[in-house]
């Protein structure tokens, strides 16, 4: 169940203040337990959940506490205050905070490398050319759903500002409801709303995840100073995460059971499709973050923060520990 991680406008000023206050004096972290937040009961985070549930973090001798913080700005504030050690969410959240003053915030690992969304329309709209002049539902302007909609429209040679009417609907379930009531003609949906749209007879005009978009979806962020001071702990965390990825790829029933526990989804068909799409199709074996998967995010942020246009994506990446674990042979051993 996907919840986009865009900052609501009303929270930006508060978050910017918290970043300003915290950026100059990194807090002292207690290392008995590594506290890791996640922002939504979204099946994209299943490797993290599985590493915890299957004891893979314990196996690698690192104690991890998972903390569900539903509001991304609140999660970022908790990270800056030292209440959590690692924030998990959309990569753009960390990039935006870094550009807003917390220049030591970096990404050290990542999961899906695209947006596994779908562009759905009413059955009467049978091809992309018929979208022109139509009303398109997004969650909020500036959200990942909004970004995906504009990206697809551009690929169809349509100007999002002139050729369609983009409407803020508020949430992904609301977009599906708006389709059903004819309030919009089309909209971008994430799983499982996309499956529900298909069951309701709506037409999938685009599988966005299959269109070649390079976009870092889920990512792990932390302060560079924290990462450098806790090298062994973070190597062990990354090793546990890599084993979590392997576990869910090779244990489908257990993976679906863990997904059910965290998302509260009872429908087996939805659980199975979530597994096929988010684990088998889009989950990489190695949880890297690469510059090419941050480029589109920075281009989008550049519409609101000019610094994003001139800052190289490499500045936001600290991937030493992923490389260390890979070089030690763990991935090769797991998939031998």
Regions in the chain scoring below 70 on pLDDT: 1-31
Note whether 74 and 39 are within 8 A (CB).
no
Can you list the domains of the chain with their CATH numbers?
9-114+215-334 (3.40.190.10), 118-209 (3.40.190.10)
Global confidence as pTM: 0.84
Q: How far is the C-alpha of 260 from the C-alpha of 270, rounded, in Å?
A: 10
Instruction: State pLDDT tens for residues 161-183.
Output: 999 999 999 889 999 999 999 99
Neighbour count for residue 294 (Cβ, 10 Å): 29
DSSP 28: P
- Joined together, the tokens standing for residue 17 give 């203040």
Instruction: State pLDDT tens for residues 122-134.
Output: 999 989 999 999 9
Q: How far is the C-alpha of 336 from the C-alpha of 102, rounded, in Å?
A: 41
Residues contacting residue 146 through CB under 8 Å, at least 6 positions apart:
6, 138, 139, 140, 166
DSSP string, 210-239: GTT-----EEEEEEHHHHHHTHHHHHHHHH
* pLDDT for position 234: 97
Indicate left, alpha or beta for 114 from its phi (over 0: left) and psi (-120 to 50: alpha): beta
Q: Across-strand partners of 265?
A: none
* pLDDT for position 10: 43
């Amino acid at each position: 169940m996907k919840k986009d991680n865009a900052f609501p406008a009303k929270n930006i000023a508060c978050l910017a203040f918290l970043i300003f206050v915290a950026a100059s004096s990194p807090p002292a972290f207690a290392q008995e337990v590594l506290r890791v937040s996640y922002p939504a009961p979204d099946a994209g985070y299943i490797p993290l959940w599985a590493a915890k549930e299957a004891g893979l973090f314990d196996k690698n001798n690192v104690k991890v506490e998972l903390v569900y913080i539903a509001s991304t700005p609140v999660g970022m504030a908790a990270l800056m205050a030292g209440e959590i050690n690692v924030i998990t969410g959309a990569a753009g959240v960390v990039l935006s905070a870094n550009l807003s003053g917390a220049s030591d915030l970096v990404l050290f690992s990542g999961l899906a490398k695209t947006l596994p969304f779908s562009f759905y329309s009413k059955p009467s709209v049978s091809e992309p050319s018929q979208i022109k002049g139509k009303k398109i539902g997004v969650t909020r302007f500036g959200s990942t759903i909004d970004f995906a909609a504009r990206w697809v429209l551009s690929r169809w040679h349509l100007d999002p500002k002139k050729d369609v009417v983009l409407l803020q609907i508020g949430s992904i379930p609301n977009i599906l409801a708006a389709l059903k009531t004819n309030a919009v003609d089309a909209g971008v949906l994430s799983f499982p709303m996309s499956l529900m749209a298909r069951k309701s007879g709506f037409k999938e005009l685009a599988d966005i995840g299959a269109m070649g978009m390079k976009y870092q979806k889920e990512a792990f962020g932390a302060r560079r100073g924290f990462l450098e001071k806790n090298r062994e702990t973070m190597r062990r965390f990354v090793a546990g995460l890599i084993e979590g990825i392997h576990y869910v790829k090779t244990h489908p029933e257990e993976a679906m059971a863990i997904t059910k526990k965290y998302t509260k989804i009872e429908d087996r068909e939805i659980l199975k499709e979530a597994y096929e799409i988010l684990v088998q199709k889009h989950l990489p074996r190695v949880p890297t973050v690469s510059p090419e998967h941050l480029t589109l995010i920075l281009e989008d942020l550049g519409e609101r923060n000019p610094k994003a246009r001139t800052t190289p994506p490499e500045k936001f990446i600290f991937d030493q520990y992923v490389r260390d674990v890979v070089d030690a042979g763990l991935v090769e051993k797991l998939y031998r």
